[in-house]
Each structure stands twice: as C-alpha cells, then as structure tokens.
Amino acid sequence: MNAAFALLRRDLSLALRNVGETLTVLAFFVIAATLFPFGIGPEPQILARVATGIVWVVALLASLLPLERLFQAEADEGGLDQLLLAPAPLEALALAKCAALWIGSAVPLIAVSPIVAAMLQLPSEAFGTLLASLLLGTPSLALLGGIGAALAVGARKGSALLALIVLPLAIPVLIFAVAAVEAQIAGLSVRPHLFLLAGFAVFWLTVAPFAMAAALRQAAS
C-alpha cells in the first residue's frame, strides 16, 4: 500500500507543479459551458431548465481531457515498466493514478461549478444537490476514464478513441446525476439518485482496478 500512496503523492505533487494543465481543463469547462447561452439564447427560464444538463455534459467532456496522458505519458517515458515491476499489486497502483486524477482535475472542476451554474441561472436551492451529484458522480468518471486510458495506451488515435470508449459507458452516471438535481428543483427526494450515484462509484471502484491492470499488463508485452 505504501507504493500506491507514494504514487498518489508523486502524481499530486506533479499536478501542483503543472498547474497549467489543470487550469486548461477548468478553462475548457467554463468556456464550453458559456457557449450554450449563445447557442440556445439567454432567456433565464430556458437556461435554468437546461443548466444542470449543461454543467454535467460539459464536466463529462472536460474530464476526458487529462485522460490521454494518464497512462500514455508513463508508457512513453518508460515509467510504466517500473510500475509493472513494482512488488505492489498493479491494481492498487492504477487506482492511485485514478485517485490523483480525480483530486487533480475533478475536484477543481467541482469547485468552479457553482460559478458556471450561477451563470446558467440554476435555481439557488439546487446548488447543494449539484455539488453532491458532482462529488458522487465524478469518481465513476475518473475510474471509467482510467479504464479507457489504460485500454488506449499505444493506440494510434488517442483522444477521439477515448471519447468513444468512455462516453457511452458514462451515460448512467449522467442520467442519475441530472435526475438528482431536477428532483431537488421539483421538490422531490434526491436521496435515491445520490445513493445510486454512490453505488455506481462503488461498482466502478471494484471493476476498474482489474480492468486497468489487465489492460496495462498487455500494453507492456
């Protein structure tokens, strides 16, 4: 376990030193969300109706951006071999990379999401649920993204391929995250939705490490 924590610590300190990368993801998130008022008009009622969906869809797209380098950089530099040869289980190391990805890119994104939501006229009583849905939903995206990134190591058409792999599998998360916020706006109970999102996170937490490890092992051979 020490090895996994050391990897998490190293990746986080690298993320701190390359703040530019995180800022690029955040800028994409804000700019892409800003396009929607231009596309569908600035009427507050219309924006309020679609705000949750926009925030979530754009967050989903933004979460794809750092995936391409997640394992590919390790493979290009030679570090992947060192991870594969570590005595620690590869599953734990892959999970550590996903955790660093989540803390390094999803958490800042969640932090700025209220600003985007406010610009899109999301009713103020829904902010808490939006944050909760992001906190419970983005771990699934990071794990799912980790699977995609591990599968695509060494592939020719990196980023578009990642979108093809990850997006269809992320649809359930999107459905229930948006449903939670809309339930809050409609005055219904949000608990079942949030429980389901947590359930998805647990599901991917059990599946993703094995899928990533299997993908990385065959990527090295």
Partner 1 sequence: MTGESAAGLSGRELACMRGGRTVFAKLDFGFAPGELVVLRGPNGAGKSSLLRVLAGLVAPAEGTLAWHGADIADDPAGHRARLQYVGHLDALKANLTAREHLRFHAALREVGARDGEAHHIAHALDVFGLAKLADRPARFLSQGQKRRVALARLCVAPAALWLLDEPTNGLDTEGVACLAAAIADKREGGGIVVAATHLDFPGSQARTLTLSPSQ
Partner 2 sequence: MNWQALANPTRFKRLSDRLLPWFAGGAALCLVVGLYLGLVASPPDYQQGDSVRIMYVHVPAAWMAMFVYANLAIAAAASLVWRHPLADVAGRAMAPIGAAFTFLCLATGSLWGKPMWGTWWVWDARLTSVLILLFVYIAYMALNSAFDDDTRGARSSAILALVGAINLPIIKFSVDWWNTLHQPASVSRLDGPSIHASMLTPLLLMAVGFTLLFLALALVRMRAGLIERRLAALSYSRSAEAGVASFR
Residues that bind partner 2 (CB under 8 A): 147, 151-152, 154-157, 161, 164-165, 167-169, 171-172, 175-176, 179, 200, 203, 207, 211, 214-215, 218-219
Q: Is residue 92 a contact residue for partner 1 (CB under 8 A)?
A: no
In sequence order, which residues have a C-beta less than 8 Å from that of residue 56 and are 6 or more positions away? 133, 134, 137, 174, 177, 178
In sequence order, which residues have a C-beta less than 8 Å from that of residue 113 and are 6 or more positions away? 29, 55, 59, 130, 131, 134
7 binds, among partner 2, partner 1, none (CB under 5 to 8 A by kind): partner 1
7 within 8 A of 97, measured Cβ to Cβ = yes
Least gap, CB of 66 to partner 1 (angstroms):
15
- Burial label for 193, CB within 10 Å (0-12, 13-18, 19+), is buried
Encoded tokens for 56: 């979530």
From 78-86, 98-106, 156-164, 200-208, give the range in contact with partner 1 by CB under 8 A: 78-86
Quick one: which of 30, 32, 86, 112 contacts partner 1 (CB under 8 A)?
86
Interface contacts to partner 1, rule CB under 8 A: 2-3, 5-7, 10, 13-14, 17-18, 76-79, 81-89, 220-221
